[in-house]
A = this chain, B = another copy of it.
Amino acid sequence: MPPVVSDKYKQEKKAAILKSAFECFAEKGFQVATIDDIVAHSKISKGAIYNYFNSKDDIYIELMNQHTNENITSLKRELEKLADTREKLDYFFHLYSHLDQHPQFSNSTRVHIEFWLYSTRKNELRDIMLARYELYKNLFKRILVEGIEKGEISTHVNPDELSFIFWGVIDGISLHFAMLLDQYPYQKVYKEIQELIYTKLGFN
Query: Which B residues lie within 8 Å of A179 (CB)?
Result: 116, 120, 126, 129-130, 133
The CA-CA distance from A109 to B133 in the complex, in Å, is 18
A165 interface hit (Cβ, 8 Å): yes
- Quick check: B114 and A110 within 8 Å, CB to CB? no
Chain A: interface residue total (CB-CB under 8 A): 48
Question: When the two chains form the complex, which single residue of B172, B178, B185 contacts A175, counting CB atoms closer than 8 Å?
Answer: B172
Majority-rule SS of A interface residues = helix
> How many subunits of this chain does the assembly comprise?
4
Q: A133-B179, A195-B200 are in contact. Are A168 and B173 (CB under 8 A)?
A: yes
Other A-B pairs, 5, CB within 8 Å; known A110-B117, A114-B118, A129-B179: A130-B179, A164-B173, A168-B189, A195-B200, A196-B199
Tell me the A residues contacting B by CB distance below 8 Å: 3, 28-29, 31-32, 47, 110, 113-114, 116-118, 120-121, 126, 129-130, 133, 158, 160-162, 164-165, 167-173, 175-176, 178-180, 183-185, 188-189, 192-193, 195-197, 199-200
